[in-house]
């Protein structure tokens, strides 16, 4: 059965952190569902790139997924105010499913109460809000949580998601395909 990932999309998302992992997951034949949190199908990123969501969070929130992917960027503050991303992260964690967050998105994991006693990393701009953050590690996996620092680590992060869902051989094959 094909693995499914729910990717949350909100205005102000960081383009590289969103598109690179989606691309790598899809190369690994993982179904990635891009869901707009606010409901609009065309969502403008931090750098002005417009990405078309395939659906809305309201339409797919109850569907089964194997991993929750929360991209970073300034839009994370909107996700925090909305609150549904933190609730979803809690639900995934309680079900033993992986939760992945990059850049500022580990703030959502903090809001969900998932970082206590865990190793994690995040973008330097949010280190003050995340006691215990590992600032010198690019991608950190602790149990079912996968975190990464930012745009410069997006490919490594995406491959970590592939590895989590599809195994090391598939991650190595995808890395070879992109000449990494």
> Among all residues, which ones are annotated catalytic?
103
Q: How far apart (Å, rounded) are the C-alpha atoms in residues 163 and 146? A: 11
Give the DSSP H/E element, type plus range, for residue 59.
helix 57-60
DSSP state of 153: G
The helices-and-strands tally (H runs, E runs) of the chain is 7, 9
Q: What angle do CA 20, 145, 12 make, to 5 degrees?
A: 45
Query: Beta strand 50-52 with 55-56: parallel, antiparallel or unpaired?
Result: unpaired
For 150, which DSSP code? S
Query: How far apart are the C-alpha atoms of 138 and 122, rounded to whole Å?
Result: 9
Render 28-53 in DSSP notation, one character per residue: TT-EEEEEESSS-SEEE-TTS-EEE-
**Cβ atoms 117, 132 nearer than 8 A:** no
């Amino acid at each position: 059965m094909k693995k499914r990932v729910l990717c949350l999309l909100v205005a102000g998302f960081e383009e590289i952190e969103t598109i690179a992992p989606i691309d790598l997951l899809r190369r690994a034949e993982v179904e990635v569902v891009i869901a707009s949190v606010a409901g609009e199908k065309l969502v403008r990123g931090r750098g002005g790139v417009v990405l078309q969501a395939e659906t809305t969070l309201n339409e797919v929130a109850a569907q089964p997924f194997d991993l929750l992917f929360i991209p970073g960027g300034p839009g994370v503050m909107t996700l925090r105010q909305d609150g549904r991303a933190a609730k979803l992260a809690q639900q995934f964690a309680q079900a033993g499913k992986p939760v992945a967050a990059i850049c500022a998105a580990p703030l959502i994991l903090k809001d969900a109460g998932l970082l206590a006693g865990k190793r994690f990393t995040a973008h330097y701009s949010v280190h003050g809000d995340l006691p215990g953050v590992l600032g010198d590690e690019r991608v950190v996996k602790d149990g079912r949580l996968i975190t990464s620092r930012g745009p410069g680590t997006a490919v490594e992060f995406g491959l970590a998601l592939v590895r989590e869902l599809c195994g090391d051989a598939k991650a190595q094959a995808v890395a070879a395909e992109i000449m990494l």
